[in-house]
Amino acid sequence: MTESVPMNLSLSLCFRRFNYLLLCMVIIGCPGEGPAFRQHWNQDDLRILQSLHLSNLPPVTDPGNAYIGNDAAAELGRKLFFSPQLSQKGDTSCAHCHQPKHYFTSGKAVDGKRNTPTVVGSAAFSWQFWDGRADSLWSQALFPLEDPTEHALSRLEVVHIVLDNFQDDYKEAFGATEKLTNFLNEKASLPRQASPVNSAENWELLTDGQRSQINQIYASIGKALAAYQARLMPAESRFDKYVEAVVKKDYGSAHQLLSPAEEAGLRLFISDRGRCIRCHSGPLFSNGGFTATAAPGSLHDEGRLAIIEQLPNNEFNCLSRYADEGEGSCDELVYLKTAGEELRHAFKVPTLRNISLTAPYMHNGAFNELSEVMDYYNRSPRNSLNHTELEPLYLFPFQLKQLEQFLLSLESGIAPSSVWELAHNQEKVE
């Protein structure tokens, strides 16, 4: 301290440094200054930590899809997922956008209108797509097949292609049903119309019975794709092992698993300072709900509100005759809230597991880096409609870094117990 610094200023500087040091010790411990100081978790915190552990993931079920746990259906689904034959130009499979090397995302900001979410863990969610316009994994799969910007097929053509190329696999999974036999007998006389553009005309030419046969087989194809995707679940991460150690009070192991900065980030994540847990809760770090967070560039996209009225009319929804177990298991659809301002610009809360592998981020790929996402949460800017459920956090830059570091501890890849991992790792998909 030099003499030219007035006493009161030097004292205040001293205090500020002292405060900073205290803050630093409480929040991250002090790197390079001996063993870091780590706060213990109280009982409430421990309950939250346990609720985030991967073991809370319930076994996958879907009353509408009796084949979700069927190995033969999953094997057919795997083949279809990776098959470019299943597209008009022979160049687009599901894996074209959901690439194993990017944790089943595309690595691009958007494909078509939106960012490609991962399919890993998707079987655990009630609603599929950023706006939740499909109410099951099997009915979700039927959208891209008929989408002119994706596989660009008509459903009749999909059924033709699958039975021409994968008939044995299909029969093994779903049996030689009456509908299948009827379809195969009539197949040669049914119009082949690859493009969905003119397919409406062809569809009109068919009898009700033929349409129902085709829809039944088409729905089964969705069920096979869902059975495959339902086997793609995240593996245990460092975070999960940390929770196990903390619960056992084995702090030695816990402190090896998460660094002081990662632990501080976790504390922010679950505390009132960060408030992430409000939406990113449960074993996949998502409550499965829809909220408006006003990501930049999203004003033109109404999100959940734009599709909500169509949901009850989707011909392959939970109440449809093609769902294996209809009414009674469709409460979420029956009691659906179909109006309300909170649906405007609302998007599905995405999983944060393996978030380090799935950039760019948000439904429109607005951010390339996790640091940008953290900065956006800190500011929580309003869009011109003043509609967001976020509040600014006023965190320091080092705290945003801690949050980001914590998120990286969720990286784990796909569960090794899954026999399917080996198979899809071998697929060469560009």
Contacting residues toward ligand HEC, per CB under 6 A: 92, 94, 96-98, 111-112, 114, 116-117, 119, 122, 128-131, 137, 140-141, 144-145, 150-151, 225, 229, 274-276, 278-280, 291, 293, 295, 298, 347-350, 352, 355, 358, 361-363, 370, 373, 377, 389-390, 403
Question: How many C-beta atoms surround the C-beta of residue 165 within 10 A?
Answer: 15
**Nearer residue to ligand HEC within complex by CB, 178 or 363:** 363
Smallest distance, Å, CB 283 to ligand HEC? 15
**Nearer residue to ligand HEC within complex by CB, 348 or 424:** 348
Q: Residue 399: helix, strand or coil by DSSP? A: helix
Bridge partners (DSSP) of residue 414 are 234
The whole-angstrom separation of Cα 268 and Cα 256 is 20
**Nearer residue to ligand HEC within complex by CB, 37 or 101:** 101
Smallest distance, Å, CB 153 to ligand HEC? 10
**Nearer residue to ligand HEC within complex by CB, 255 or 353:** 353
DSSP-assigned letters across all residues of 78-101 = HHHHT-GGGSTTS---HHHHSBGG
Smallest distance, Å, CB 178 to ligand HEC? 26
The whole-angstrom separation of Cα 360 and Cα 128 is 19
Smallest distance, Å, CB 226 to ligand HEC? 8
Q: Residue 356: helix, strand or coil by DSSP? A: helix
Smallest distance, Å, CB 308 to ligand HEC? 14
Provide the token pair at 374: 């953290």
Smallest distance, Å, CB 185 to ligand HEC? 27
Smallest distance, Å, CB 402 to ligand HEC? 10
Question: How many C-beta atoms surround the C-beta of residue 264 within 10 A?
Answer: 26
**Nearer residue to ligand HEC within complex by CB, 247 or 408:** 408
**Nearer residue to ligand HEC within complex by CB, 9 or 343:** 343
The whole-angstrom separation of Cα 152 and Cα 75 is 23
Q: How big is the chain by its Cα radius of gyration, in Å?
A: 25
Would you say 240 and 246 are in contact if contact means Cβ atoms under 8 Å apart? no
Provide the token pair at 135: 């109410």
Q: In which region does residue 42 sit, left (phi positive, over 0), alpha (psi from -120 to 50) or beta (all else)? A: beta
Would you say 383 and 390 are in contact if contact means Cβ atoms under 8 Å apart? no
Smallest distance, Å, CB 33 to ligand HEC? 28
Smallest distance, Å, CB 24 to ligand HEC? 20
**Nearer residue to ligand HEC within complex by CB, 49 or 276:** 276
**Nearer residue to ligand HEC within complex by CB, 164 or 327:** 164
Smallest distance, Å, CB 296 to ligand HEC? 9
Residue with tokens 């800017």: 381
Would you say 303 and 131 are in contact if contact means Cβ atoms under 8 Å apart? yes
Angle at 42 between CA 40 and CA 44, to 5 degrees: 145
Give which of 118, 99, 93 is closest to 361, Cα–Cα: 118
Q: What is the DSSP letter of 196?
A: S
**Nearer residue to ligand HEC within complex by CB, 247 or 306:** 306
Would you say 124 and 285 are in contact if contact means Cβ atoms under 8 Å apart? no
Q: What is the DSSP letter of 38?
A: -
Bridge partners (DSSP) of residue 347 are 291
Smallest distance, Å, CB 165 to ligand HEC? 15
Preceding peptide of 392 cis, ω within 30°:
no
Task: Report the sign of the C-alpha dihedral through residues 384, 270, 30, 23, in that order.
Answer: positive
**Nearer residue to ligand HEC within complex by CB, 96 or 267:** 96
**Nearer residue to ligand HEC within complex by CB, 103 or 183:** 103
Ranges assigned E (strand) in 250-314: 290-292
